[in-house]
Amino acid sequence: MEEQMYAVPFSLVGFFFTNKPIEESIRSDLTPEEMEKLQELIARFLFTEDIKIALYPSVVPPDQAEEALEELEDMMFGQDQEE
C-alpha cells in the first residue's frame, strides 16, 4: 500500500529592523544549498522526525505590513470573531 503524504501550510512571521533601504537589507545571492540547509534547520527544530518542509521567503513592503498582519490574524483565528 502506498503511503500518502499531505502538504500542510504553515507560517513563520518575523520582523527585521534596519536603517537601510529594504532592497539593500535582503540578500539576493541565497544559493539553493543555503536554502536547503535553512529548511533542514527549521524542520529539525520545529517539527518531529521525518517531516520535510519547503520555504518561500518573501518580504511584505512596510506600507502593506498592517494589512498583511490582519490577513494572517484572520487566517489563524478566523474572520468575524467579534460576534
Predicted confidence pLDDT, tens digits, the chain (83 residues): 788 888 888 888 788 888 998 888 888 899 999 999 999 999 999 999 989 999 888 888 778 878 877 887 777 777 654 54
Domain count within the chain: 1
- Report the distance separating Cα 34 and Cα 79, nearest Å: 37
Query: pTM surpassing 0.85?
Result: no
Domain range for 33 is: 26-76
Please check whether residue 83 lies inside any domain of the structure: no
Please check whether residue 10 lies inside any domain of the structure: no
Please check whether residue 32 lies inside any domain of the structure: yes
Please check whether residue 46 lies inside any domain of the structure: yes
- Give the HSE-up count for residue 6: Cα atoms under 13 Å, Cβ half-sphere: 3
Please check whether residue 67 lies inside any domain of the structure: yes
Please check whether residue 57 lies inside any domain of the structure: yes
